[in-house]
Amino acid sequence: MPSQNALRVAVVGTGKMGADHVRRLQQVISGARVTAVVDIDAERVRGLADGIDGCTAYTEPAAALAAPDVDAVLIASPGPAHEAALIDALAHDLPVLCEKPLTPDAASALRVLEAEQRLGHRRIQVGFMRRYDVEYAKLKRLLDSGELGRALLLHHRHRNLSMPEWFTNEMLINDSVVHEMDVTRWLLDQEITAITVLKPAPTSHAPAGMNDPQFVLLETEAGALADVEMFGHCGYGYQVTAEAVCERGTARIGDEPGPRVSVDGRWGGRITPDYVERFEDAYDREVQAWVDATRQGLVTGPSVWDGYAAAAVCEAGVRSQHEGRRVEVDLIERPVFYG
């Protein structure tokens, strides 16, 4: 819980995710408190600030990042606003946790990457929270151990109860499948080199013009393949699973936890309704790890390189959507700065 010597955090963007992070910083994790909240919705941000002792409401990120009572910043605003806030945070040498996407496209992500290198040290962590999920972390350790041999295939399922009416085909890639892109890179420790997006006949529950579901095939630099079933309107809940197929065995995560009940000739259990509940613990662990590292003067977790690489794969994925073909991913050579 917040204390007098806690990390003083500005939260930029107070929509669904940002407001949840404000709650998390104030009520769940230790070592931090919210001293600034920023949103273009002045009424909403004032309402949030009024409920937190010592918190100031802002409608412009630049004013908050220049405030003397801000030690670090958590960015949860829409993706198009990220670049300006990130560049400003680097100018103030402030540690940052930036929700994905780092930026909406590879060119702007590359500008942030170059700005951080000019600063001379890492300051930005990207919010790919699945890396902090207990099950994904166990799968990562298992694959790294070599116990199952080399990973050959990854099978991902990503199903939503429904999607907002304003969600687009491109957002299915940029805002949803981006998680599988990052976790594939992380689990396999390989870059993605090509992507193919296939569009089967759409469900009748998808809005007009949306191709849902979609099937995504990712190719990696070492010859592994990963497939993603992206189904935005499955109609029954939120499911995220992954299965690694290796030389000496397989490992699967994400199946719903118990209890499984058998009664009246039926068996079953509950399916989580959305990502906030499914990954609540992962978000808690992610933000706690960021706060702990920041208080020690460290930057850990997904880097700007990871954000840039994901943006480049997303761009190739959207091209594949539009052109109906396999598209190679265009990446710069990884800078030594990012290990």
How many Cα atoms sit within 13 Å of 80 on the Cβ side?
1
Q: What pLDDT score does 1 carry?
A: 45
C-beta of residue 63 within 8 angstroms of C-beta of residue 42: no
Whether 310 maps to a domain, the answer reads no
Convert the pLDDT of each residue in 229-267 to its tens digit: 999 999 999 999 999 999 999 999 998 777 888 889 998
Whether 316 maps to a domain, the answer reads no
Q: Are residues 105 and 162 in the same domain?
A: no
- How far is it between the farthest Cα atoms of the chain? 66
Cα–Cα dist 77/93, whole Å: 20
Q: Which residue has the tokens 């010859």?
A: 223
Looking only at the bridges linking them, the beta strands covering 151-159 and 225-231 are parallel
**Of residues 261, 220, 286, the one with CA closest to residue 25:** 286
Q: Are residues 64 and 157 in the same domain?
A: no
Q: Are residues 140 and 273 in the same domain?
A: yes
**Of residues 235, 233, 228, 232, the one with CA closest to residue 254:** 228
Convert the pLDDT of each residue in 269-279 to its tens digit: 889 999 989 99
Whether 190 maps to a domain, the answer reads yes
Q: For the chain, how many structural domains are there in total?
A: 2
Q: What pLDDT score does 3 carry?
A: 53
Q: Are residues 247 and 297 in the same domain?
A: no
Whether 216 maps to a domain, the answer reads yes
Q: Are residues 149 and 36 in the same domain?
A: no
3-state helix/strand/coil string of 200-269 = CCCCCCCCCCCCCCEEEEEEECCCCEEEEEEECCCCCCCEEEEEEEECCEEEEECCCCCCCEEECCEEEC
Q: Are residues 30 and 141 in the same domain?
A: no
C-beta of residue 94 within 8 angstroms of C-beta of residue 73: yes
Q: Which residue has the tokens 């951080």?
A: 116
Sequence-separated (6 or more) residues with CB below 8 Å from residue 135: 253, 254
Q: Are residues 126 and 139 in the same domain?
A: no
Residues, the chain: 339
Whether 325 maps to a domain, the answer reads no
Convert the pLDDT of each residue in 201-229 to its tens digit: 999 999 988 999 999 999 999 999 999 99
Q: Are residues 142 and 163 in the same domain?
A: yes
Q: Are residues 172 and 286 in the same domain?
A: no
CA distances from 185 to 45, 64, 255, 307 (A): 36, 34, 22, 11
Cα–Cα dist 29/6, whole Å: 11
C-beta of residue 153 within 8 angstroms of C-beta of residue 225: yes
DSSP string, 94-151: --EEEESPSSSSHHHHHHHHHHHHHHTS--EEEE-GGGGSHHHHHHHHHHHHTTT-SE
Q: Are residues 288 and 271 in the same domain?
A: no
Whether 308 maps to a domain, the answer reads no
CATH number reported for the structural domain that contains residue 204 in this entry:
3.30.360.10
Q: Which of 278, 295, 323 is the last residue of a domain?
A: 278
Q: Which residues pair with 277 in a beta bridge?
A: none
Domain that includes residue 117, residue range: 7-130+281-303
Share of the chain above pLDDT 70, in %: 99
Convert the pLDDT of each residue in 97-146 to its tens digit: 999 999 999 999 999 999 999 999 999 999 999 999 999 999 999 999 99
Q: How far apart are the first and last CA of the chain?
A: 34
